[in-house]
Amino acid sequence: MTWKSRYLFGMIFFSAFAMEAAGVGESRPESRSSPGASSSNLSLPLCRSEQSSIDSIFADVKANAKTPYKYRAYKQALVGESDERLLARLIYAETKASSCVERENEIMPIVAAVIHRRIERRGGDIQSVIFERDQFASSLNNYSESHYRDFLCPVDQKAWAQALALATVDGIKAERVSLPKDAVHYYFYKHSSRFTPPAWAQDSNSKNEVSISKDGHLKDCIRVFRNATWR
């Protein structure tokens, strides 16, 4: 090999190494910080918005649709996320799924309080609540009205900060949301016009409904129900 050939080879090798080090051509999950964020907890979380990742998740969801592992691909896609941040993702996405944009501020603490009641009844097992099959379909299942993209890639900085605060018990207390210990169900009445509310969310079951606002102004968006047998 002549010195010119060795030089050319060295330059090609260096260029390839530099591109690899810079991540050129490699698909990476997006991690984002908002302008002015002073801590990692206030930055937007890991983002999984690439279509290839979403397609892979739903291929696995479909393959495991009837098993307890239906949502394992979400865990794999978000490996490294703490239980608290996974919970914040669920609170965030479920609130967005309510389809009541003008009332999200009020709806989010209620969503969080109900999910916390479930976690309490599960002995603090956060992931068993989040990823229980079909319990939070509006954030994890694959259909047009589902807000799975909000679960995978939160983009609303203000709502994310609120969800992150509400992922803690202290955050719930700060919002002064108090629900019975068996208040483990809510239903979004504006989420989709295609679905009929289940029996427990219909007016005939009003004896189990929990009051969440004095004037009832949230009832067209969300209602909360008790279920003493839920485990």
pLDDT tens, position by position, 152-161: 999 999 999 9
Confidence of residue 37 (pLDDT cuts 50, 70, 90): very low
Q: What is the predicted pLDDT for the residue at 30?
A: 52
pTM: 0.82
What average pLDDT does the chain have? 85
Three-class SS of the chain: CCHHHHHHHHHHHHHHHHHHHHCCCCCCCECCCCCCCCCHHHCCCCECCCHHHHHHHHHHHHHCCCCCCCCHHHHHHCCCCCHHHHHHHHHHHHHHHCCCHHHHHHHHHHHHHHHHHHHHHCCCCHHHHHCCCCCCHHHHCCCCCCCHHHHHCCCCHHHHHHHHHHCCHHHHHHCCCCCCCCEEEEEECCCCCCCCCCHHHCHHHHHHEECCCCCCCCCCCEEEEECCCCC
Categorize the per-residue pLDDT at 24 as very low, low, confident or very high, splitting at 50, 70 and 90: very low
The domain segmentation of the chain, as residue ranges, is 40-181
